[in-house]
Structure 1
């Protein structure tokens, strides 16, 4: 085989590997785009409510008193008509950031004590737990959920800031500069920032869940609820993408 043919073959193979890697990496985003193009907003919202209901059903054994941001609150964050602090206050999440900061600093975060009930062993994996263990588990799960919701509020606020930045950039252009090419450039730049922010947020969520998994395991409590929280986060993220892609495409 001639040298130029070998070089061409290598280039083609490298391109194929890159394309496959990109498709795998962006599989979730491709799925969200497909949903946005094939499903109306009402159906997407209905599916989001069903996912939320499934989460609430999985939390029936826990005394949860914190709630997720509503669609209206998310819209306010995206439109810049409400700040992250205002939404957190409305949801009762003011202390979630402080708890997270204490945990990340390694300072004296109170660790749940082992149950002192005689004759009762603490068993993980959903087996029988003492009332003391369940009470401690309830408190830990609620703190975990509060941190996750606070993380969601911060994310929506950041997306709102990025949206306003893109709009300001577009509005600052002279009429002759407002071309389709420039609009695509601003949109693509914003999209890449969204992807970077998604990677950071995914890691933050994983860290929160890992931290509370360790805490729950330390008292012998069931950790299956954390799997439900990750599944809800993944489903909610995909649904939110589909909803806003649908909204802004139409």
Structure 2
């Protein structure tokens, strides 16, 4: 198993070295190396758990239920047969499929559906001209909030996908090394053979996250809110990357 750990960290180590040449990745990689040198494995694991809670809190604040993607769903996300937008809809659908009970009656789900339909149809009270502007403003606000929810859900999906893809690349390197000669030369060859795949993964994920953060900032501005949520979401993703890299580095050091 020690061989597996060494090859795993070798892969991530190459990612750090390759990324260090690019300004966009340099700070993230420096943080990863600093975490590795100043934290033990348990502390890094705890920080990973705390970091995930930050995004989970944002989801709860916007009434998005926690959703654990299955292995099949993660595989579909990785091969592109399930898009991030489609997966985000699963999160939102999961929340609406089992709403918290708000009625005393056992058939409260039907009642909440009726009330939801009533609030979403402002045309039901067209008689007062002064009232039409208010529902319109409320409808716009609800639309923006819904779009914010979609971006938060999408961010959750992108972070889960990145971690799954990183671990898949690490595992493929381990499998390739174990199946071949267990020599330092082969280990180096396997590790460096993953550089292109690793750099492409991080570039792709960073670009998608940047798009979500930019959209989220615009939506928050439209809603009259500051951009603290967008900053928090972006920092959570960057922290996840740094901690994951530090985790693999620490495993190698202690192995």
Normalising by the smaller structure, the TM-score range is 0.5 to 0.7
Equivalent in the alignment of 1:155: 162
Alpha-carbon distance in structure 1 between the residues aligned to 2:182 and 2:236 = 40
How has the CA–CA distance of structure 1 residues 47 and 198 changed in structure 2, closer, same or farther, with 3 Å as cutoff?
Answer: same
Equivalent in the alignment of 1:205: 209
- Give 1:168 shift: 3.2
Equivalent in the alignment of 1:183: 187
Tell whether the 8 Å contact from 1:144 to 1:208 is kept in structure 2 after alignment.
Answer: yes
- Give 1:200 shift: 1.4
Aligned: 1:22 with 2:21:
yes
Alpha-carbon distance in structure 2 between the residues aligned to 1:158 and 1:46 = 22
Equivalent in the alignment of 1:31: 31
1:1-250 equivalence runs, <5 A = 22=21, 24=23, 25-55=25-55, 61-66=61-66, 82-85=71-74, 96-98=84-86, 118=133, 132=139, 135-173=142-180, 177-218=181-222, 220-222=223-225, 224=227, 225-250=229-254
Tell whether the 8 Å contact from 2:48 to 2:243 is kept in structure 1 after alignment.
Answer: yes
How has the CA–CA distance of structure 1 residues 117 and 44 changed in structure 2, closer, same or farther, with 3 Å as cutoff?
Answer: farther
How has the CA–CA distance of structure 1 residues 239 and 168 changed in structure 2, closer, same or farther, with 3 Å as cutoff?
Answer: closer
How has the CA–CA distance of structure 1 residues 48 and 60 changed in structure 2, closer, same or farther, with 3 Å as cutoff?
Answer: same
**Bigger shift: residues 229-238 or 43-52:** 43-52
Unaligned runs of 5+ in 1: 1-20, 74-81, 89-93, 102-112, 123-129
Equivalent in the alignment of 2:5: none
Higher helix share: 2
Q: How many pairs were matched up?
A: 190
Unaligned runs of 5+ in 2: 1-19, 90-119, 123-130
How has the CA–CA distance of structure 1 residues 83 and 120 changed in structure 2, closer, same or farther, with 3 Å as cutoff?
Answer: closer
How has the CA–CA distance of structure 1 residues 191 and 83 changed in structure 2, closer, same or farther, with 3 Å as cutoff?
Answer: farther
TM-score (norm 1): 0.59
- Higher relative contact order (Cα pairs below 8 Å, separated by 6+ residues): 2
